[in-house]
Amino acid sequence: MHREKLLRRIRALTWVFIIGLVLSGATALPLKSELDALARVIKPEQALSDSGAPGPAWAVWLSKVHAAVASTRAAYPFLFYGTDWLAFGHFVIALAFIGALRDPVRNSWLFDFGLLACALVIPYALLAGAVRGIPFWWRLIDCSFGLFGAIPIWLCRRWTAELQLK
């Protein structure tokens, strides 16, 4: 009975991870329309205070990103092919975790792989973000994907190890 309960938990959290990867990848595809929608909600004028001075850092940054994506898309739409491949990478990694759904014990290596990938998000976001001039607070948001992704994978790994002992 305990074995079935662990398998259900592992499969449920593996699905959470798979869905997170797919959603994360899918958001890389419609960048311009996502930023257009965000700009309509946030309003570019929030990037400036009433006195004309720069507004909150997040509003200034999003306004800058929105303008950059719009002008880049207009002049060089082929550059967004890179984000198409970013999305594809997320989809393929998610597909690999189907093996963990089928047989988590035999494919327990996927949880080690997932934990390593989640851990590597943090130095990659911090270093690559610094090189590209991404604000530190935004890099912390990117790091959170590794942290939050690691939680279900760590639990799956732990429960799978428990199953292997039985």
pLDDT for the residue numbered 42: 77
Q: Look up the domain containing 30 and give its range.
A: 2-34+80-165
Q: Judge whether 69 lies within some domain.
A: no
Dist CA 67 CA 44 (whole Å): 10
Q: Judge whether 116 lies within some domain.
A: yes
| Confidence bin at 135 (pLDDT 50/70/90) | very high
| Confidence bin at 104 (pLDDT 50/70/90) | very high
Tokens representing 139? 């890099």
Q: Judge whether 148 lies within some domain.
A: yes
156 CB contacts (<8 Å, ≥6 apart)? 9, 10, 13, 14, 17, 100, 104, 111
pLDDT for the residue numbered 48: 62
Contact 107, 164 (CB under 8 A): no
pLDDT for the residue numbered 38: 86
| Confidence bin at 63 (pLDDT 50/70/90) | confident
Q: Judge whether 19 lies within some domain.
A: yes
Q: Judge whether 86 lies within some domain.
A: yes
pLDDT for the residue numbered 58: 83
Q: Judge whether 53 lies within some domain.
A: no
Q: What b/e sequence results for 78-92 when a residue is b if at least 16 CB atoms lie within 10 Å of its CB, and e otherwise?
A: eebeebeebbeebee
Query: Is the confidence at residue 27, as pLDDT, over 90?
Result: yes
| Confidence bin at 57 (pLDDT 50/70/90) | confident
Residue 159 is which amino acid? W
pLDDT for the residue numbered 165: 86
Q: How many domains does the chain have?
A: 1
Query: Is the confidence at residue 154, as pLDDT, over 80?
Result: yes
Q: Judge whether 98 lies within some domain.
A: yes
111: number of Cβ within 10 Å: 26
Q: Judge whether 55 lies within some domain.
A: no
